[in-house]
Amino acid sequence: MWGTVCSSPYFFTVFSQEKGGHFVNSKKRGMTLIAKQKAAGWAFLTPATLMIVVMSFYPMVRAFIISLQTGTGANMRFAEPIFSNYKRMMADKVFKQSIGNTFFYLIIQVPIMLVLAILLAQLLNNKDLKLKGFFRTCVFLPCATSLVSYALIFRSLFAQDGLINSILVKLHILESGYNFLGNSASAKIVIIIALVWRWTGYNMVFYLSGLQNIEYSVYEAAKIDGANGWKTFWKITVPLLKPTIIMTFIMSINGTLQLFDESVNLTKGGPANTTITMSHYVYNTCFINVPNFGYASAMAFLIFIMVAVLAFINLKVGDTRD
């Protein structure tokens, strides 16, 4: 009997109307699932977007406007000609020297640091290595050190009466203490050593994370095929880590172009501005010397353009998609 009722045209029509009516009413009463998902996405994105606009994009625009101005404090006015601050940069010998110093650190320090980070990550990713956690912590520990503290530590280590000179004198490598921070070439080397010590562990963590996402069976298959450790590293590890390498390279370039603490606290930009960085010179122009916010903003905006251009080039070079 129930089968007869269910199969009747009247029952089917009523049931369809009820279901259809319920569907239409529910659709009218609230949002669809897709609309709810979109609304939730915007609800999560909006606070972060507003913070990025307020804390990043607005300062960029404001810095560009100030870079076109001259004067101090409330007496800022647009320069005549409007790009006079940028024209001044082209004739500023100290700023040119700071650019050369910064790119010297970039070219020497970044490759050394990233290569060491990859090698350490590969070594500490070995599943048969004992006390891996201890060694990883030791390598990463310098990153937890305050920037000011570690710069002062290296300043005392390489002082003329510091630990490094004492060891070299006792080993009869030097007859007397050498003024590492008073010589241009050695002062730059000290800054590079300090940067490598401070940031290698930071980049190692990214590579270690990337290596742990590579299936160990891939390495086992390569070993079965007769590939040695060097071939496995170049043919498997490096290609699979390429996105991470590009990311760390861009971050390292960004950080080096904005290098500040080491120049200020380790060498104070000396001797004779031979180790000063762009950010250090911007700081001196803005706060130490006669304050010139317009000229300092122009230099800061140029640094921003350098970072953006180099990051864009790295992304294009590293993008292998068709």
The answer on 36 and 148 residing in a single domain is no
Distance CA 65, CA 185 (A): 38
What number of CA atoms fall less than 13 Å from residue 113's CA on the CB side?
A: 28
Query: In terms of residue numbers, what domain contains 310?
Result: 92-318
The answer on 273 and 161 residing in a single domain is yes
The answer on 139 and 28 residing in a single domain is no
How do residues 159-193 score in pLDDT, each as one tens digit? 988 899 999 999 988 888 889 998 999 999 999 99
The answer on 62 and 105 residing in a single domain is no
Q: Name all contacts of 99-102 with Cβ < 8 Å and 24+ positions apart.
A: 99/278, 101/188, 101/274, 101/275, 101/276, 101/277, 102/256, 102/257, 102/259, 102/277, 102/278
In a domain, 53, yes or no: yes
In 3D space, the residue among 259, 235, 238, 261 whose CA is nearest the CA of residue 108 turns out to be: 259
Tell me which of 78, 105, 136 is where a domain ends.
78
The answer on 271 and 241 residing in a single domain is yes
Distance CA 150, CA 201 (A): 14
How do residues 272-305 score in pLDDT, each as one tens digit? 889 999 999 999 988 887 778 888 889 998 888 8
In a domain, 64, yes or no: yes
In a domain, 69, yes or no: yes
The answer on 193 and 144 residing in a single domain is yes
Tell me which of 14, 47, 78 is where a domain ends.
78
Q: Considering its fold, how many domains does the chain have in total?
A: 2
Whether the predicted model's global pTM rises above the 0.95 cut: no
The answer on 257 and 219 residing in a single domain is yes
The answer on 120 and 11 residing in a single domain is no
How do residues 220-253 score in pLDDT, each as one tens digit? 788 887 777 788 888 888 888 888 888 898 889 8
In a domain, 86, yes or no: no
How do residues 59-87 score in pLDDT, each as one tens digit? 888 889 988 888 777 777 888 888 888 98
Tell me which of 78, 105, 123 is where a domain ends.
78
Which stretches does DSSP call E strand in 41-108? 69-70, 77-78
- CATH number of residue 215's parent domain: 1.10.3720.10
The answer on 210 and 65 residing in a single domain is no
